[in-house]
Structure 1
């Protein structure tokens, strides 16, 4: 049973990610019949710490010894992403916690601390899409999943960007105390108890640049004619190449096939239209080349893990859908 929670801080801690775990686990909501956790903020680097926000500091009387009794240890985001010198006593404490059956949770870049402790080896883990490649290079034995909001590889739970820390915390509450408790906490925080989709819906992917002028010109033409049906043969003719040569060159320059590139650009256009317009799904499907609302929905879910209507609600509010 989850009762004792400790949040461990490094210098340069991000206040929002710290606030997330404090909000979920640190507040007394017993007046609503909700569980009260024995919660403490723990310092890994002295009583006073700087934060990501200039001029704002955090102090706590608790040291790393407080981690020895915690059922859950959370590690919020920190500026120390490039550091390879996390306090050895902290890494030892995290390993001991997992060995004795406690859970550890990282929020955003806090995952690098878990990697340094060896807790990601052979495990699936989440990371902010901006840091996923760096994390994978630094800890090659970790199985980094850059398109998800969080990963529960019990007893190691990792979450991606800022708000996904809320998702992961509520997931732990749901797992330990049930959906009713998690839903009540979410209602108090005015957040959804569970979000659809993954990080892919929040990643901005501009039109890929190509070092090949011929293929680059075809990419521009394709992006301007997403509503049109087009074949590899037609694209190759525009590039003055044989279909086989064009397909090979396209793969070399973009890292994908013409078909997959086209699908991705169509989904990106659909995202922009869902965010910025009130056009119907049929109209958006026509403008993006999917043809029907059903085809648009199918490809949207495949690419982003959420429906067009859910995406529009997330970015424009419930009234937009």
Structure 2
């Protein structure tokens, strides 16, 4: 069942009329194909117009859309013979972070990502994609394994942020995130990250400090959530839309700032409206990025990756 966002109400009304007409057609011999075609053209036009001028806050809503494809959807579509690997070998398994070995378009790769889940049961099981320290320590273990065996790393980022519970802090959440970032930066194998939904704070960059950072057109990537920022600056999450605009968290802003390397176009109306299209588009972008890193030795990859992140924010500074 299609879920519509607040700003999509006019689209929802038109699609509701289309469903009513199709239902009438199913009940008898009435042929209303022409009318359905006209309404569908209006829906397509309205979708293009609406999504061409989304505000930052509206992009946040699209990035959080409940029907949006998540990490395991991309893994199923793009990775053959995927073998999941579990545990951090120190404390526990964290299902917010998924990872394993598989084949991506002829290459053996290590895949690491954050999984939010689709329904109540899976969301609780994956802790809504918010990792605890053991999740980042598992990511570290898998990245080090990839480095040992010369496997490129693909990272799929989709989290509101690291889990902020007391137990997580007691087990060293900040240290685990810092070590995960450090591990990304010292890898001697190619690493490509893609922000497929939300890229929230240190929880995101912990597995995104890579050679190439891709970002879906309507994804968001920020140091803090708009609600969190609004609660700090305005003492109220009601100003989340203002915070979203100030944070410059859209793919277009971040490409201009040099934080990401490439924007991957989404289907009209968002990734959730045409899954096969977004799977193919992201697959092509990941393949192009890996091809561009082919031939570089480990020392060169590590040096370029470190310079890339050290140089961020230097534009315009004297």
TM-score, normalised by the number of residues in structure 1: 0.30
Considering only CA atoms, is the larger Rg found in Structure 1 or Structure 2?
Answer: 1
> Which has the bigger relative contact order, CA under 8 A and spacing at least 6?
2
